[in-house]
A and B are shown apart, each in its own frame.
Chain A
Amino acid sequence: MDRFAELLDRLVLTPSRNGKLKLLTDYFRETPDPDRGLALAALTGDLAIAAVKPAMLRQLVAERMDPVLFGYSYDYVGDLAETVSLVWPEPAGGMRADRAPTLGQVVKRLQAASRSDGPRVLADLLDNAGAAARFAIIKLVTGGLRIGVSARLARQAAADLGGVDVAEVEELWHGLSPPYVSLFAWLEGSAERPAGAAKAPFRPVMLSHAVEERDLEKLDPADYAAEWKWDGIRVQAVSDGGVKRLYSRTGDDISGAFPDLVDAMDFDGALDGELLVGSPSATGTFSDLQQRLNRKTVSPKVRERYPAFMRCYDILQREGEDMRALPFGERRKALEAFVAGLEPTRFDLSPLVAFAGWNELETLRTAPPHPVIEGVMLKRRDSPYLAGRPKGPWFKWKRDPHTVDAVLMYAQRGHGKRSSFYSDYTFGVWAGPDGAEELVPVGKAYFGFTDEELRQLDKYIRDNTVERFGPVRSVRADRRHGLVLEIAFEGLARSTRHKSGVAMRFPRISRLRWDKPAAEADRLETLEALIG
């Protein structure tokens, strides 16, 4: 348990992806079964502990400690799980001799606990653990570790352990269950690859490369089909012998959030497509889609107002037949016939875009027929469906980003290689009446500049600091003084969490406008007009 607790503590404060992967892979290598598999399940959200609930924590601590002292402590720390883990008193009789249980023992006891003896089991575990382990136990109990590790990153670390592609782990994932002993045995080379036993398995998706300068001149337009690139979420719909599953592109099962779409999956096969909201005849905006994202369950009202449908790109499986090795052209024909038999309000085809040459496609790309289109996809007509991101068969050619001129307001110190640089920037645009303009923050960006520009920005921030709050500095920014940043971004959505009322998607710094006076930066109305 102590090892797992230490892992959580390191992960939560390690900002870099590579650092997290290293910590995870080392842990998987050094930790025996079943602990490592249970840790993996805890990180991917696949570990269920039913009988112990967070509300018990307050009760348990109230039985052990003066409420006034607990109040002072909680006020200071601000997080219930952490406060309880820190203040939990050692039991009067001392810890048991066999303290420091393994993660496996802890999980087993928690899972075996009934509703009535849950509190007693939890208290006994906390009595016999150190502060870090107590925190980890409470995190397991309350669910949602919230340590900045996605399920995909955890699977990537497992894949790294065996030197295999993460797509292979994702493909197997839904046929496996904690503690994943067969998976680790395969990854360490001591057993065969586990057989995919589950119905309706996930198939690793095919991804594209961005079109780069001079790519197109080497390609023959006749070899490629073009489609709109829809800005929804890429999904895979699999229906197999009565089992229906909707997966995200990383293989997470998201069926629970889209029951309306899953119910309509009356077919036998696996489709690749884009999940959008509205209906095939009236596609909703990305803002609408956001109403349906990141929810475990969804109310009937939201379902009715923002119905989900799938715009189909490809067919991977058709009634027991694996279609992936067929060329795109043949798959496309099969897809057209297949989708024609599906519920039309829930499934439609992603239309092909006819074009004669790159210049014509460029014209179409810059003026797409719907705001949810973010560019075009190019798919080589003779290419099979390949897992991962092979270079050549598929390209994405995105619409040019929007840009806005904003004023630098706050800067925060970075991490790792950037730990002595102010490298995360909050910027704002002007709002309010003439003569009383104010900057309102509209976003934050931490890349898009060169190392040399980072040094210049850092110096500017140190020379123009108005106030400091821990690692954050506020920078002089008014009508007459301030640094203008040209910000590129992919889209805007309304946001009630931001004072400005707008939230940017994927903002990055495209240019430093040392030349531009702060007063000439854009106004909030310019952004609001983009939302439409």
Chain B
Amino acid sequence: MRARDLLKPRPEGLYCPPGDFFIDPVRPVDRALITHGHSDHARAGHSHVLATRETLDIMALRCGEGFAGATQAAQLGETITINGVGVSFEPAGHVLGSAQILVEHGGTRIVASGDYKRSADPTCDPFVPIRCDVFITEATFGLPVFRHPPAADEIGKLLKSVRQFPERSHLVGAYALGKAQRVIRLLRDAGYDETIYIHGALARLCAYYESRGVGLGPLAPATVEPGARKDFAGAIVVGPPSAFADRWARRFPDPVACFASGWMRIRQRARQRGVELPLIVSDHADWDELVETIEETEAAEIWVTHGREEALVRWCELAGISGKALHLVGYEDEGD
């Protein structure tokens, strides 16, 4: 079977004609396979959803219990047959519960990686490279300028700044699912055992991570008692990036605006957002990881999606691998 007959882009998302299912569809469909719980990949309203237990739990937390007609939990490494097409979920290392999806039919193997990274993350299972004929890779950071430094070094910068400016609070912008918990866990791994204050939008997801065995240490809501403004001096506060532009941020004394994101590699990005302390911590593969992963899959063909497709396609051309951009629509460019 030709690969392009096994999976093809449709307006709803990546579609498998023989299996009659979609991967990460952006519109409601009958049967959806979901790689992970970020809202641009995991949308409510499908009739049937197949995903890892954690992804299903996260979707229920974020979209409500009735987010799909019926759900089925996929065990990592176990093959499920859908209309004669073999499907298996393998860890993607992106966030808790994230998976790549291997689709196999008539001797053709395609891996839809979803979002992934290769660097260590104490909050989720590490990425497993899978040999395949076609590897569908994300390209969020698909430019040679994006090479993420070790996350522990970035956390070291944060802790140094906290020591240097004890009279100020450090507000760390981090996406509510995955990044926030990873930053908190990394702080604990670096020996920081003070209470970390969190924005309300993080509370349920942090509790869920804890229930799955990811220890986050003492957390408290970043709410303020009247007249208790000084309480946050010297504290680390974690919240979704959008909250820091908001009136919510006013309760903190002279805050140092930090942002944990792969985009912080580019100084102008940090400047534009008014970030004072950029923390280059990403849940997406950087350029070196993308290239290394493509090589490890030994795929003859690479399909590139959401991100800077052109540079990765160019790299494939130079490496003598067939590469093309998929032009799927509806996935956030900024979701890191």
Judge if A68 is at the interface, Cβ distance under 8 Å.
yes
Judge if B311 is at the interface, Cβ distance under 8 Å.
yes
A66 to B164, CA, bound (A): 42
Judge if B249 is at the interface, Cβ distance under 8 Å.
yes
A84-100 near B? 1/0 per residue, CB < 8 Å: 00110000000000000
> Nearest chain-A residue to B311 (Cβ)?
A72
Instruction: List 5 additional contacts besides A13-B270, A13-B278; criterion CB under 8 Å.
Output: A12-B267, A12-B271, A76-B143, A77-B266, A419-B244
Contact check, A82 vs B314: say whether CB atoms are below 8 A apart: no
A70 to B270, CA, bound (A): 22
Judge if A10 is at the interface, Cβ distance under 8 Å.
yes
Q: Provide 6 A-B residue pairs closer than 8 Å at the C-beta atoms, listed in order of the A residue.
A: A10-B161, A69-B315, A72-B314, A77-B266, A77-B268, A417-B254
Give the dominant DSSP class at A's interface.
helix
Judge if A65 is at the interface, Cβ distance under 8 Å.
yes
* Shortest Cβ-Cβ A-B pairs, 8 listed: A420-B249, A86-B145, A87-B144, A72-B311, A417-B254, A470-B272, A73-B145, A420-B250
Q: Residues on A close to B: CB < 8 A?
A: 6, 9-10, 12-15, 19, 22-23, 26, 65-66, 68-70, 72-73, 76-79, 82-83, 86-87, 130-131, 413-417, 419-421, 470-471
State whether A471 and B254 are in contact (beta carbons under 8 Å apart), knowing that A66-B318, A419-B244 are contacts in the complex: no
Judge if B192 is at the interface, Cβ distance under 8 Å.
no
A87 to B143, CA, bound (A): 9
A451 to B164, CA, bound (A): 27
State whether A72 and B143 are in contact (beta carbons under 8 Å apart), knowing that A22-B165, A131-B149, A420-B248 are contacts in the complex: yes
Contact check, B145 vs A77: say whether CB atoms are below 8 A apart: yes
Judge if B62 is at the interface, Cβ distance under 8 Å.
no
Residues of A within 8 A of B144 (CB): 65, 69-70, 73, 86-87
> Nearest chain-B residue to A12 (Cβ)?
B267
Judge if B246 is at the interface, Cβ distance under 8 Å.
yes
Judge if B200 is at the interface, Cβ distance under 8 Å.
no
Chain B residues 8 to 43 lying within 8 A of chain A, measured CB to CB, are none
A83 to B244, CA, bound (A): 29
Contact check, A13 vs B277: say whether CB atoms are below 8 A apart: yes
Checking B161, B257, B308 against A419 with a beta-carbon cut-off of 8 angstroms, the contacting residue is: B257
Number of contact residues on B: which range applies?
A: 35 or more
Checking A68, A78, A87, A471 against B245 with a beta-carbon cut-off of 8 angstroms, the contacting residue is: A471
A22 to B274, CA, bound (A): 20
> Nearest chain-B residue to A413 (Cβ)?
B274
Contact check, A130 vs B274: say whether CB atoms are below 8 A apart: no
From residue B288, how far is it (CB to closest CB) to chain A in Å? 9
A83 to B146, CA, bound (A): 10
Residues of A within 8 A of B275 (CB): 13
A86 to B148, CA, bound (A): 10
> Nearest chain-B residue to A15 (Cβ)?
B276
Residues of B within 8 A of A416 (CB): 254-256, 276
From residue A14, how far is it (CB to closest CB) to chain B in Å? 6
Residues of A within 8 A of B278 (CB): 13
A72 to B139, CA, bound (A): 14
Checking A66, A417, A420 against B314 with a beta-carbon cut-off of 8 angstroms, the contacting residue is: A66
Contact check, B268 vs A13: say whether CB atoms are below 8 A apart: no
> Nearest chain-B residue to A23 (Cβ)?
B164
Q: Which of A9, A70, A417, A419 neighbours the largest number of chain B CB atoms within 10 Å of its CB? A: A419
From residue B72, how far is it (CB to closest CB) to chain A in Å? 41
Contact check, A76 vs B274: say whether CB atoms are below 8 A apart: no
Chain B residues 257 to 300 lying within 8 A of chain A, measured CB to CB, are 257, 265-268, 270-278
